[in-house]
Amino acid sequence: MLLSSVAVVAGFILLVWGADRFVLGASATARNFGVSPLIVGLTIVGFGTSAPEMLVSGVAAYNGNPGISIGNALGSNITNIALVLGITALVVPLTVHSVIIKRELPILLLVMVLALLLMVDGDLGRGDGLFLLFGMCLMIFWVVRLGLRERNTADLMSSEFDAEMPPEMTTLRASVWLVIGMVVLFASSQMLVWGAVNIARAFGVSDLIIGLTIIAIGTSLPELAASVMSALKNEHEMALGNIIGSNMFNILGVMALPGLIFPSALPDGVLTRDFPMMLGLTVALLLMAYGFRGRDGKINRFEGGLLLAAYSGYMYLLYQASV
């Protein structure tokens, strides 16, 4: 039990570090080949924050634990909205006034509804996985095209990404960091899944519950750090955009992997408890962020407290389901 707990903690730490090294190497390599900071930021950096979820999901499905994969995808989305944004809003109330954010939130909700329609039959098969993966490719294409088309926004985003790009380094050094990041990501995800499965068996809880709680919270740490730091820098829309992008990746990319690698029936509770919770929180976020009568939307400290209260209530439901 002690070894499994150490594996989980070490796995989380190495996942975050590996994702950071992967993004560093990939970003520097892309820049050396002439790719603009805007494209790098919209693709590599955006993928990097979801790399832990995708690696853990793929490894868990390959090892025959699709419940961890599905729980990781849904649990990370719930954690991102209720816990990450709840904490961020308590630290710094978030003002939302970007047209892009107001357009992306309804699309996020639509993506979730489409995913629900795919899985309403109670199965997550290879056809479902292929459809979700195709949706992720469309999403990446749409985000890049949107960023390039809207010049004012593109200029602003490009300057922000340019400031956050890693220092110049040789292609060889960047490639070394890229390979190290990928190896560490894979090894740490193996370590994390191994420890989580052992803990689940020791306490007699399902893989789904472990995925919804321990795994989801741990793999959401990069989003928490990125959102809080963006809010403290007064980049409110970056904080919210980080969550929206991550949640889209989780539904389309992370959820696709168990369907492709280990098709199976959905665990009990996914359609009756977890998916409705995720949808409800997304609708609540849409209402908070959208704003009405021409006024900007705002996620204040009171609403941040409500999100945290909702997360606490959800954790209690999971506790009740596991005893």
What pLDDT was estimated at residue 48? Answer: 66
Residue with the bigger pLDDT between 155 and 184: it is 184
- Residue 156 has what pLDDT? 45
Per-residue pLDDT, 154: 46
- Sequence-ordered alpha helix ranges (H) in the chain: 2-32, 37-40, 46-62, 66-78, 85-91, 99-119, 126-149, 151-164, 171-203, 207-210, 216-219, 221-232, 236-249, 256-261, 275-290, 301-322
In tens, the pLDDT along 24-38 reads 777 777 777 776 655
The count of structural domains within the chain is: 1
Q: Which residues span the domain enclosing 302?
A: 2-322
Q: Are 25 and 174 in contact (CB under 8 A)?
A: yes
pLDDT by residue (tens digit) across 51-60? 778 888 898 9
DSSP state of 188: H
Q: Minimum mean pLDDT among 159-173, 227-241, 247-261: which range?
A: 159-173
- 99-108 tens-digit pLDDT: 656 678 888 9
More confident residue, 297 or 316: 316
| Distance (Å, whole) CA 299 – CA 5 | 36
Place 196 in a pLDDT band, splitting at 50, 70 and 90. confident
d(CA 287, CA 299): 10
pTM for this entry: 0.84
DSSP 262-274: S-EEPPTTIIIII
* Torsion 299-301-302-303 (CA) sign: positive
3-class SS of residue 124: strand
Kindly indicate the confidence band of residue 46, based on its pLDDT and cuts at 50, 70 and 90.
low
How many residues are present in the chain? 323
Residue position matching structure tokens 């970056």? 238
CB-based burial label for 173 (10 Å; 0-12, 13-18, 19+): middle
Domain CATH for 131: 1.20.1420.30
Taking residues 16-30, report their average pLDDT.
Answer: 78
Question: What does the pLDDT read at residue 266?
Answer: 94
Mean pLDDT is highest, among 34-43, 239-248, 297-306, for 297-306
pLDDT at 157 over 50: no
Question: Out of 65-69, 132-136, 276-280, 285-289, which region has the weakest mean confidence (pLDDT)?
Answer: 285-289
Task: Enter the tokens of residue 278.
Answer: 């995720």
Per-residue pLDDT at 83: 94
User: Which tokens in the block code for residue 94?
Assistant: 């978030």
94, 297 contact by CB (below 8 A): no
Nearest-angstrom CA–CA distance, 266 and 270: 7
Mean pLDDT of the chain: 83
Residue 261 confidence (pLDDT) above 80: yes
Q: What is the pLDDT of residue 166?
A: 55
Selected residue with higher pLDDT from 13 and 77: 77
The answer to whether the CB of 221 falls within 8 A of the CB of 33 is: no
| Phi-psi label, residue 291: left if phi above 0, alpha if psi -120 to 50, beta otherwise | left
> With the CA atoms of 177, 180, 184 and 187 taken in that order, what torsion angle do they form, in degrees rounded to the nearest 10?
160
Overall average pLDDT of the 3-18 stretch: 86
**Higher per-residue confidence, 294 vs 25:** 25
**Residue 322 carries which side chain, given as an amino acid letter?**
S
Q: What is the pLDDT of residue 26?
A: 76
Between 167 and 294, name the one with better pLDDT.
167
Beta-strand pair 297-299/264-265: unpaired
Q: Are 197 and 65 in contact (CB under 8 A)?
A: yes
